Structures are given as C-alpha cells and as structure tokens.
Structure 1
Amino acid sequence: MENWIEFLSRYQREHNLKQHQLAERLGMTQGGVGHWLRGTRRPTLATVNEKLEKLGLAYLEARVMVVERDMTRESRGVYAVERPPSVNALRHASFRFPVLRWADLQGALPHTGDTQELTGYMPAGNAFWLPVENDAMNAASGRSVPQGVLVLVDAGIEAAPGRLVVARQPGKPAVLRELIEEGGQQMLRPLNTLYPTVLCEEGCEFLGVVVRMHGVL
C-alpha cells in the first residue's frame, strides 16, 4: 500500500490541501487519513476504489495506466472500468483530458473533444485543455501565457484573486484572464497591458483555473 500513500501525498501536495481538506474530499475523518498517510492502517482495494471515485479518478486504462475523467470516458471495450484499479498503478498514473475549442465554451461544456492530451497533474474536478488563440496574456516580463500554447483548466479549483481563470460574462465569449480584486470588486485583467481590464459583471461564470501550460501548437 506504499503506492497508495504516495498517491495521496502527491494529490495533497498538488492541490495544496491541509489534511482535514483532503479528508473532506475523501469523505472520511482527518484521523483516518492521518493513519493512511503514516502507514499505520491499510485500506482494502475496494476502499481504494471507493476513494478514487470520491476524487473523480476511478477510471484507469489497463495497459498504459491513464486515469480517465467522467468528462473523457470512452468505450467499455477499451477501458477496464469494471475492475478496481491496481494500487501499484496509482504510482505511475497519468491523466488524459480533452482539448476543447473556445467555441465549445459557449454553452454546456462537452463531454469530450476531438483530441486529448496527457499530463501527470491530478485534477480536483473536471479538467480540459484550451489553446491560447491571442496575445492578451502575453506579457513583456514576468508571468506570461503566449499565444499558441495549451493551458490545462481545472474546474474543481476555486477561482481566487491572483489566479489565471477562464471566465464567461453574460452574452460574451469566454476569455482567459487574471482574476484580481480592487475595492471589493472582482475584475478580469489581461497580462498584456494593451488590453483593457474589465469588471466581473453580475452572472460572470468561472469555468476553471489554469493549472498547467503545455507546448506550442
């Protein structure tokens, strides 16, 4: 069960969770999680499978150890969803998410995309890749998100000031911006100063937080 302990530790570290927050996601007590992390108690394989479902990470691809999100689930003929995942597989699991288009963000998010990309990042919720299609987040110095890269957006992370978010204002296309707060009001700021900072209007939705940046298209 050392790999299960390593998996939980990695998940906690990836999402900057306190032990009680990890316990809440797993649907158990903080003391119980503490026993697992210290190795003083060992869960059964059935319990591991149950907790993976709590985290939304129950679908392991049998051959290449790819964890499938509900959003990207494929045919039962390819993925062994009936069999609990091997605990040893958790150590080497990768995660596959769909690459969406900005046009896909106009309504309800689709359940899959034409293409998918792998990452070692463990998501907190449904996640998807997006191509950056303009230079609004391309800064001359400091943090920058250049045009042409893919960003990984995690819908399970709370949008907070200082984070890069994908936001959708009522009646407008979704945008990638930095969420800031000024005078008690939330605003969407581009990293490229040639673009304007705008107020988060009533009904503004945050579709997710950017957690990774990947390659050039």
Structure 2
Amino acid sequence: MKKRTLSPELAAECERLKNIYRSSSRSRGVTQSAMADALNISQAAVSHYLNGQNPLNTRVAAVFSQMLEVPVRAFSPRLADQIEETVKAAQIGEMASREAPNISLTAQPAMSYKYPVISWVAAGNWAEAVEPFPPGFGDRYELTDYRAHGPAFWLQVKGDSMTSPSGLSIPEGMLILVDTEADAQSGKLVVAKLTESNEATFKKLVEDSGRKFLKPLNPAYPMVAINGNCKIVGVVVRAMYRL
C-alpha cells in the first residue's frame, strides 16, 4: 500500500533538511549510513526523511541538527518550538522541586508493578510477533504504577507509523506496556496480530459505520481494515522512554 502524501508544511521541512544535508554532509564527514547508526534505524529510513516520504519528528531533527551542526530551526521551526517547550517544561519542573524544601512527603503504600520486556513490535509494517510471556518470565523488567487485568509485557516500538506531527505521538524507541486482557474499545491503542501468521503491528483501533480499522498516528501511513484477518493481542496502557 502506498503512503499518503505529506502536507506542504511537512514536505517543505524535509526539503530544507535535504538541501542542508547536501551542502553540509560532505564537509562534516556525515553519511546516510552514519546517520542511520546514530538514529538506530535503517539507511532507507534516513532516505525517506530526506526525500519527504516520512515526516520529521523531534528525535530525528535533534540528531540531524547535532551531526550537521545546524540549528533545528534552520529546517523546522515547528520542531524547534516543540523542543524548546519540552526543555522549558523540564527546567520548570526542576526549579519547582528545588524551591519546595518545606514540603514533607507522606509515606504511601507501594503501588509498583513489574512486567517483562520481551521484544519489540514494528510500528510501521507487519513484523514478527511474540506471544505474551507468562508472569515471572523474562530477564529484564520495567516498573509501572499500572495494575494489569491479565498477563502484560513491555515492547519497544520500532518504525514511525505511530509518530505524529502533532498531538499524541509514540515515536520509535519508546516502550509500550501491553495488557492482554484490557478492554479493546474504539479509540484505544492496540497491538494486533495477523491470524494466519506470526506478524503483528501497533496501531489505534477505530470504528466507523460499524467497521473497525487499525489507524496509524502518522498521516503518511494508510489505515488497515479489520475484516477477520487479525486479532487484538492487547491494549497499550502505558508508554515511556528509558534513556
């Protein structure tokens, strides 16, 4: 299936970045292969950003900015503003924590739950899936305040179909917690698996005129109709970065 065309604004950002890359990459010794290694993505994915096939996001913009030694605002004022707002919010939070020495903490009951990190799920295309591991299995765990309704596990997102240029966005590298017995209602983010193979994907479940679809948050990707070809593995109930 063909991807949707980017909006003029998003396409213009990619074009500006491509021009900067062409003029600056050689003098700085930056190749698409090196950029792919820095982003932990394929070289083809780097080409997709430069050629306007995928919209830029803050993580990709920050890495290009660092390696090409140009400010993000030179090619994307939109993403530059997002990065600045994120930095400001972090600074405000840090200042608030320093300026509240008279606040005493009240002991609270422990409400942490740990679930295994078992594999990754492709957020761009169907990829090899993993069945939920039984409780207690795994060599890596992450804590959360969420109490699952059934077996649950963390997956690390790969691909950019859930990376949105605005609003809710689940970029590549983020960990998502999947609850296999949570109620999969329309509007929920889910992991779905093809019924006739070991392939799965991460999308938003939506319903329109009685029909259900798997919808990416990235407008460059098409929706996938649910017509008996897949089942819901679980609902995504938490998302986080682990640096």
TM-score range, shorter-chain basis?
A: 0.5 to 0.7
Give the deviation of 1:164 after TM superposition: 0.3
Moved more, 179-188 or 114-123: 114-123
Pairing partner for 1:93 from 95, 111, 131: 111
Pairing partner for 1:166 from 181, 185, 191: 191
Aligned partner of residue 175 in structure 1, secondary structure: strand
Give the deviation of 1:174 after TM superposition: 0.8
Distance in 1 separating the partners of 2:132 and 2:236: 16
**Contact in 2 for aligned 1:177/1:190 (Cα 8 Å):** yes
1:168-212 Cα shifts (integer Å, max 9, x gaps): 122351111000011211100000011110101315211111111
Indicate the residue corresponding to 1:153 in structure 2: 178
Which amino acid in structure 2 is aligned with residue 166 of structure 1? V
Is 1:181 aligned to residue 207 of structure 2?
yes
**Contact in 2 for aligned 1:169/1:201 (Cα 8 Å):** no
How many residues matched? Answer: 129
Pairing partner for 1:143 from 168, 189, 195: 168
1:143 to 1:168, Cα distance in 2 relative to 1, 3 A: same
Which amino acid in structure 1 is aligned with residue 179 of structure 2? D
Distance in 1 separating the partners of 2:238 and 2:131: 23
Aligned partner of residue 158 in structure 2, secondary structure: coil
Equivalences for residues 96-115 of structure 1 within 5 A: 96-102=114-120, 106=129, 108-111=131-134, 112-115=137-140
CA RMSD of aligned residues (A): 2.4
Indicate the residue corresponding to 1:201 in structure 2: 227
1:108 to 1:138, Cα distance in 2 relative to 1, 3 A: closer
Distance in 2 separating the partners of 1:101 and 1:206: 17
Gaps of 5+ in 2: 1-107, 122-126
Q: Give % identity.
A: 40
**Contact in 2 for aligned 1:93/1:120 (Cα 8 Å):** yes
Is 1:191 aligned to residue 217 of structure 2?
yes
Gaps of 5+ in 1: 1-89
Distance in 1 separating the partners of 2:242 and 2:111: 24
Distance in 2 separating the partners of 1:135 and 1:176: 10
1:72-93 Cα shifts (integer Å, max 9, x gaps): xxxxxxxxxxxxxxxxxx9213
1:108-151 Cα shifts (integer Å, max 9, x gaps): 43332331111111111111101011111000001110111101
Which amino acid in structure 2 is aligned with residue 155 of structure 1? T
Greater Cα radius of gyration, structure 1 or 2: 2
Give the deviation of 1:105 after TM superposition: 6.6
Which amino acid in structure 1 is aligned with residue 236 of structure 2? V
Which amino acid in structure 1 is aligned with residue 166 of structure 2? S
Distance in 2 separating the partners of 1:113 and 1:201: 34
**Contact in 1 for aligned 2:214/2:224 (Cα 8 Å):** yes
Which amino acid in structure 1 is aligned with residue 133 of structure 2? P
Equivalences for residues 19-34 of structure 1 within 5 A: none
Distance in 2 separating the partners of 1:148 and 1:212: 14
